[in-house]
């Protein structure tokens, strides 16, 4: 399911002691979009990257396809370089000068080019670029050397501290060793240790500013090729139960193939939520506003859904903070989502999400409107409910009460827009999908979680 039809932002708590049934336990830095989450069949819960362990399965260069899985390097050790401006693979040409050879790096898409000096002895391109950078460093490289030297000089100061940890001592020793190696290098830098404050001057990227390095030669600035970073494939396991959630297929002959041996994506087992388009983003004070919220079932079996929300939203769910009270009412709290059995894509799109942009969408919308007119009359609540093959649309009422007693917060400007986050606690029950029967010890799919839906750009008026 695309993010276009998805307002599912899931709270994945990393703490096992928090009372996850309370809205007060929701931490906004632990809310993730459903499309990037895994699903653990053993825990029966969505899992974020923070709740997974990682293992490197493959590491390769996407340009030359060389395998570097057993290497500790993070970049290609062969002749693969990228442009520092646009990250495109550079073309390299060799010129023979009799006494030696020089190399020219050129970007096929932008004006970047780099000409090396004449090398009389055989060297790798990595060694050539590294030597050229030392001979004619840019501001980033100079600042790095300044910071490294300054840290090594502070070793004696930290050595007298009784609370210095063993790890910090080893780090300082390592920095001192590198510092002595640097002193042997013919390149020297400005010894002004107060230059650390020059970090602030890097808010303007010097790599893109020609005049900041060579004012008189704007197209001969010392910008150097960047070594091509490696592409990695990782497997993931649930930290709670050690169940494998993602295992990529590794083919050394064709490493760029993006296939998986094991793949449990949360979007394939959890319902997706989407608000119907809202034309008027203004909420009148003390007036209930009916919004339509769509639920879509990704499973091939029916799904029983129970939904609940706090009747009064805490102030932390409204940004920026305001003095008024936001009430939420759910007229429908239980329903059953149909199974995803139809091969017709249009049948799986809720009516409120159909548009008139395509002929197929227009035809489907006309058909559903016609069927609704000839349907049997039902009670008022059911008129607000719409359902299809694998989707269900329910009303959700939002009301803003004007609060004139709270004086700790300033009066609101009518032009201010607010983002309202509505936490919904959803419990799901369904038959266990076939893809989980071989790995799960449960008989049914049953779990609960917080889904935070957002109303953005809302204005209060009245």
What DSSP string describes 274-322? EEPP-S--EEEBT--EEEEEEEE--SSS-EEEEEE--SB--GGGEES--
Sorted by where each begins, the domain ranges of the chain are: 3-30+272-352+382-461, 61-227
Q: Give whole-number Cα distances, 309 to 312, 322, 392, 421, in Å.
A: 9, 20, 18, 11
Residue 361: DSSP 8-state: H
Mean pLDDT of 334-349: 87
Lowest mean pLDDT among 76-80, 172-176, 263-267, 421-425: 172-176
Entry pTM: 0.75
Mean pLDDT of 213-230: 63
With 90 as the cut, is the pLDDT of residue 171 above it?
Answer: no
Report the phi/psi class of residue 7: left, alpha or beta, with left for phi > 0 and alpha for psi in -120 to 50.
Answer: alpha
Task: Locate 341 and state its tokens.
Answer: 């059995």
Q: What is the pLDDT of residues 393-420, one digit of tens each?
A: 999 999 988 876 655 545 555 678 899 9
pLDDT of residue 195: 42
372's CB contacts (< 8 A; 6+ apart) are none
The residue behind tokens 């986050």 is 421
Task: Locate 238 and state its tokens.
Answer: 């649930």
**Percent over 70 (pLDDT), the chain:** 77
301's CB contacts (< 8 A; 6+ apart) are 339, 430, 431, 433
Mean pLDDT of 188-209: 41
- Give the mean pLDDT of the chain: 80
pLDDT band, residue 335 (cuts 50/70/90): very high
pLDDT band, residue 20 (cuts 50/70/90): confident
Q: What is the pLDDT of residues 295-308, one digit of tens each?
A: 999 999 999 999 99
Q: What is the pLDDT of residues 373-388, one digit of tens each?
A: 666 655 555 566 888 8
Mean pLDDT of 138-144: 71
pLDDT band, residue 218 (cuts 50/70/90): very low
* 297 vs 143 pLDDT, higher one: 297
């Amino acid at each position: 399911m695309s993010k276009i039809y998805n307002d599912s932002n899931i709270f994945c708590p990393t703490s096992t002691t928090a009372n996850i049934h309370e809205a007060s336990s929701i931490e906004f830095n632990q809310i993730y979009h459903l499309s990037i989450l895994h699903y653990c069949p053993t825990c029966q819960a969505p899992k974020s990257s923070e709740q997974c362990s990682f293992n490197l399965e493959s590491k390769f260069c996407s340009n030359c396809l060389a395998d570097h899985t057993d290497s500790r390097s993070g970049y290609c050790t062969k002749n693969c370089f990228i442009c520092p401006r646009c990250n495109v693979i550079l073309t390299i040409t060799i010129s023979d000068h009799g006494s030696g050879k020089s190399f020219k790096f050129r970007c096929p898409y932008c004006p970047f080019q780099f000409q090396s000096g004449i090398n009389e002895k055989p060297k790798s391109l990595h060694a050539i670029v590294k030597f050229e950078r030392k001979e004619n460093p840019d501001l980033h490289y100079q600042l790095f050397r300044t910071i490294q030297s300054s840290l090594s000089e502070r070793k004696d100061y930290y050595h007298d501290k009784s609370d210095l940890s063993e790890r910090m001592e080893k780090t300082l020793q390592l920095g001192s060793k590198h510092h002595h190696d640097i002193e042997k290098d013919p390149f020297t830098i400005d010894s002004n240790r107060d230059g650390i404050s020059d970090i602030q001057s890097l808010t303007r990227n010097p790599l893109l500013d020609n005049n900041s390095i060579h004012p008189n030669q704007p197209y001969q600035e010392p910008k150097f090729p960047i070594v091509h970073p490696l592409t990695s494939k990782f497997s993931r396991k649930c930290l709670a139960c050690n169940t494998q959630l993602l295992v990529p297929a590794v083919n050394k002959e064709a490493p760029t193939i993006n296939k998986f041996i094991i793949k449990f994506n949360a979007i394939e087992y959890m319902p997706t939520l989407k608000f119907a388009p809202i034309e008027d983003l203004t909420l009148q004070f003390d007036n209930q506003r009916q919004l339509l919220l769509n639920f879509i079932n990704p499973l091939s079996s029916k799904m029983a859904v129970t939904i609940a929300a706090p009747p009064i939203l805490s102030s932390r769910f409204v940004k920026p903070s305001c003095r008024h009270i936001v009430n939420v009412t759910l007229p429908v709290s239980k329903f059953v989502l149909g199974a995803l059995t139809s091969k017709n894509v249009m049948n799986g799109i809720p009516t409120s999400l159909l548009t008139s942009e395509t002929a197929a969408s227009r035809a489907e919308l006309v058909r559903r409107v016609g069927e609704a007119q000839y349907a049997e009359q039902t009670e008022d609540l059911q008129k607000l409910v719409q359902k299809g093959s694998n989707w269900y649309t329910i009303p959700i009422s939002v009301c803003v009460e004007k609060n004139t007693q709270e004086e700790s917060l300033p009066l609101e400007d009518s032009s201010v827009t607010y983002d309202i986050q509505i936490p919904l606690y959803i419990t799901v029950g369904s038959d266990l999908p076939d893809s989980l029967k071989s790995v799960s010890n449960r008989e049914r799919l049953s779990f609960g979680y917080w889904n935070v839906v957002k109303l953005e750009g809302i204005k209060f008026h009245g």
